[in-house]
Amino acid sequence: MRFCPFSQRVHLILDAKGIPHHKIYIDLIDKPEWYKDYSPLGKVPALQLTSVKEQPTLVESLIITEYLDEQYPELRLFPTDTLQKAQDKILIERFAPVVSAVYPVLTCNPSAPTDALTNFETALDVFEQELARRGSPYFAGQTIGIVDYMIWPWFERFPSLKLTTEQKYELKPERFGLLLKWRELVSQNEAVGKTALDAQLHADFQSSKRLGKPQYDIAFRA
């Protein structure tokens, strides 16, 4: 499903590393029965390793991306330093409060808490401050790395808030100046460009989902 940010994480790494692969998109509301053969809990994404004996399947975006980074080391995305790698994985986990705070608004849920965007900004402050602390254009330094790719899918979706919220919400440059510069920089990455959908498509999809008729196929008009 092209609108799933967790699946997009894996697509980004596959494209960044130039790994040959075949994509199969499914309806997340009405998952095909056969999918449980690959992901018993029905989670997405799932990656079947067809070149490995018995063709095992991996699930969970971070598990998949770490596996791919180790198996295809030509372009390292995780830090080679053990401590920095652990710290980056912790930072990725710290993005969870950002997602949980903004999700009801991002998905056009009429029951979204009134303080959802306030909580979202508070959680996002961590990443503005961390980018300032690292003193580099990317979270990985001078080149794009795993943290950048793992949080990108949500930054691709944030601009749709301007189209779906009554207040036409946007990230404030005075509060998130570094992150906005980072977003512009990452948007120019080749792998990001291959998976990108624009704000209008994201807004249209969330509107269709809110009406109970998610239009997954609109992604392919991009």
The Cβ of residue 180 has, within 10 Å, a number of other Cβ atoms equal to 16
Spatial contact of 196 and 2, defined as CB atoms under 8 Å apart? no
Nearest partner of 160 among 222, 212, 204, 111, judged by Cα: 204
Bridge partners of residue 17, in order along the sequence = none
| Catalytic pick among 4, 10, 77, 124 | 4
- Please tell me the predicted confidence (pLDDT) of residue 211: 80
**Is residue 4 flagged as an active site residue?**
yes
- Please tell me the predicted confidence (pLDDT) of residue 142: 97
Across the chain, what does the average pLDDT equal? 95
Task: Give the Cα separation of 217 and 204 in Å (integer).
Answer: 11
Q: Which domains does the chain have, with CATH numbers?
A: 5-71 (3.40.30.10), 82-204 (1.20.1050.10)
The predicted-structure confidence for 156-171, as pLDDT tens digits, reads as follows: 999 999 999 999 999 9
Task: List average pLDDT for each run of 10 residues in the chain, which is 222 residues long.
Answer: 91 98 90 94 95 95 98 97 98 98 92 95 99 98 98 98 95 99 98 96 89 79 59
Task: Give the Cα separation of 109 and 112 in Å (integer).
Answer: 5
Spatial contact of 11 and 195, defined as CB atoms under 8 Å apart? yes
Question: Taking the CA of residue 126 as centre, how many other CA atoms within 13 Å lie in the half-sphere pointing to its CB?
Answer: 16
Task: Give the Cα separation of 108 and 209 in Å (integer).
Answer: 8
